[in-house]
Amino acid sequence: MPQLSAKTQELVLRFCNDVLTEHQKHTDYYNKMEAIDIAYARYITNRDSKTGEVQGEGIDAATVHTGVFNVPSTVPPIVVSQVESMVGYLSEVFLSGSPLFPIVSSPANSQAAGALEALLDSHSTLGGYPRELLIFLRDAVKYNLAAIEAEWTSIDQYDTLDELIMPDIPAVRETKVHFTKLKRLDLYNTVWDRNVAPGNISKDGDYAGYIEILSKPKLKRLLNKFSQEQEVQNVPQAMKSYISQDAPNYRIHPQLSDYVSARKPVDGIDWASFLGLSSDEKASGYAGNYEVFTLYARLCPDDIKYPGPKQNHPQVFKIVVVNGNIVVQVKKILSAYDYLPILFGQPQEDGLGYQTKSIGEGSIPIQQAAGTLFNIRFNSARRAVADRALYNPSVISPRDVNSPVPAAKIPVKTNSLGNTRISDHYHSIPYDSRGTETAMQDAMAIEAFGKELSGLNNPMRGQFQKGNKSVQEWNDTMGGADSRLRLPALSLEYQLFAPLKEILKFNIYQYGKDSVVTSQKTGKEISVQISELRQKILSFRVADGYTPKSKLAGTDALIQSMTMISQNQLLAQQFGPLLPQMMLHIMQLLGIRDLPEYIPQDPQQQGQPNEPN
């Protein structure tokens, strides 16, 4: 990495600050996400944290909570139910396969395809792909937007050597294992070019990045990693520049719990006190948390005075800035694809960009309406058991009348010389509940609107649906039940998974090294020769849950062809000898490994089943 000039650092900082200024202007989408998260968590913002009562607004403001009737309002779980049902469907489509990204090839390249598949499976385990993609899918369903970073990186791994340094103590060797790391990004602290459609940000956007809060050890680990790769600048200055107050660009998550507060950027260990620094040393820094801004941008090298060829051609750069004023990395991304390494997905896409409502946002009015009707009935029940009455406070104490004890004995101070009875000092006002009897039925009807909105009916959510249907009628009905649900899956397939699969494949082609990996299916070690994979990289296609191997390779057509060959005498004479190879290829496509090992080695046993021992 070339040493950056002062002019380059100045121009890079100016560009990053302009991006962050633009990021701070757009509060509308972040306000939308806060509203969705509050509805998703069913959090009531005006609830008293100690008593649980809702103060001053809505239905509860007109209801006096007393004693055993002191119960807070309830929010029906409509948003979370709709969101989680869709997340469950998408995760079943994309994340339930093993391996996560199978490889399809011709029969001649089956061995190399198996090696590439085992290598991708190893990267998936190292990077925790299913976990990161699951959070990505949840963001996409909640906000109708989600982001994930795909970066070629390394992780330290330690091998035990055969040689012994001292008796009974094996030697340990540190090695670097390189892989494509997937990292789901927090949308509250993600920046992107809003001049393009959400699904086209990686392909056509000018920039995308994210903001993180790192402690001193985390930042030191990051800078050490940059140093090992010889891609770091200004390490001492970065370590001495820390935030003592709230980070200027980091957005705190909304408050969603009555018990746990949202984490602030300054939360954590006070490293200045831990290190025993004086007040002067504290003022000079070297302690506390750090705001780290990672940005991928398409820039002309001439615009930032970065040395190299093609000065007037936009190229992808990775920029890392600490606390808004220290540049620690400016790295040109050399890749086989012209994508920003941050991929975005928008499952509900109708051409209206960021105005398109997500399933979470669309369910908010339904949840509010159902919650209002539900609490009307709830408060009606309160009124029915907590009667209203007129009483004489000079005879009956207000404290006794409003006693929370259900079987209280109430003293009455009557005048023995008067002509009044106890009933003259207390008069109950009967409660008329007319108009509230059907509130619960109306709430359930409104909840049904939510199912119509998302297409998630009861059977799709694993619930029983009333009706007399035969097995075939049920299968026909369910055959078209997920047609609407496949629309967002189709959008995500071509917005995220299609380019991601190419990135995973070409990262190995460009940066990979010879290695030995263990197959997760067979448990056997497979030697991966990158030079061999590079020669055949275009012969491999990466499958996933939406486009499985069977669809890419046409296994159904192969099986039908085998049936035709076996039943037709002329075809059997011409293609019959190919049937064993065709079957082996189909078994490999269906995920069965090492099938040739089952073939008897003794020529006399060919075609005969093995005898049991």
For residue range 276-293, what is the model confidence (pLDDT) as tens digits? Answer: 665 555 544 444 688 899
In contact, 340 and 296? CB cutoff 8 Å? yes
- Confidence at residue 345, expressed as pLDDT on a 0 to 100 scale: 94
- Report whether the peptide linkage leading into residue 99 is cis, meaning its omega lies within 30 degrees of zero: yes
Mean pLDDT of the chain: 77
Query: Among 182, 168, 114, which Cα is nearest to 521's?
Result: 114
| DSSP structure class, residue 348 | S
Contacts of 498 (CB under 8 A, 6+ apart): none
Is there a domain that residue 409 lies in? yes
For residue 212, give the H/E element and its range: strand 207-214
In contact, 60 and 53? CB cutoff 8 Å? yes
Best mean pLDDT range from 119-128, 166-175, 293-302, 595-604: 293-302
- Percent of residues, the chain, with pLDDT higher than 90: 19
Is there a domain that residue 572 lies in? yes
Average pLDDT over residues 576-594: 66
- Confidence at residue 35, expressed as pLDDT on a 0 to 100 scale: 92
In contact, 552 and 543? CB cutoff 8 Å? yes
Q: How many angstroms separate the CA atoms of 130 and 141, rounded?
A: 16
In contact, 52 and 32? CB cutoff 8 Å? no
Confidence check: pLDDT of 467 > 90: no
In contact, 82 and 450? CB cutoff 8 Å? yes
Query: Could you report the per-residue pLDDT of 273-332, keeping only the tens digit for each?
Result: 666 665 555 544 444 688 899 999 999 999 898 888 888 899 999 999 998 888 999 999
Q: How many angstroms separate the CA atoms of 415 and 394, rounded?
A: 11
- Confidence at residue 379, expressed as pLDDT on a 0 to 100 scale: 74
Domain boundary, last residue among 429, 451, 483? 429
- Confidence at residue 164, expressed as pLDDT on a 0 to 100 scale: 47
| DSSP structure class, residue 214 | E
User: In terms of residue numbers, what domain contains 424?
Assistant: 388-429
Q: How many angstroms separate the CA atoms of 23 and 19, rounded?
A: 6
- Confidence at residue 270, expressed as pLDDT on a 0 to 100 scale: 67
Domain boundary, last residue among 377, 406, 429? 429
Contacts of 244 (CB under 8 A, 6+ apart): 266, 288
Q: How many angstroms separate the CA atoms of 333 and 315, rounded?
A: 8
Owner of token pair 């002309």? 300
Length of the chain: 613
Is there a domain that residue 399 lies in? yes
Q: Model's pTM, two decimal places?
A: 0.78
In contact, 305 and 455? CB cutoff 8 Å? no
Residue 70 identity (one-letter amino acid):
N
155 pairs with which residues across the strands?
177
Is there a domain that residue 568 lies in? yes
Is there a domain that residue 15 lies in? no
- Confidence at residue 610, expressed as pLDDT on a 0 to 100 scale: 46
pLDDT band at 171 (very low <50, low <70, confident <90, very high): low
Domain boundary, last residue among 398, 429, 460? 429
Q: Per residue, what are the HEC states of 446-465?
A: HHHHHHHHHCCCCHHHCCCC
pLDDT band at 423 (very low <50, low <70, confident <90, very high): confident
Query: Could you report the per-residue pLDDT of 70-110, keeping only the tens digit for each?
Result: 556 678 888 888 899 889 889 988 888 778 888 877 767 77
Rg from Cα positions in the chain: 33
Question: Where does residue 63 rank: exposed (0-12), middle (13-18), buried (19+ CB within 10 A)?
Answer: buried
- How many domains are there within the chain? 2
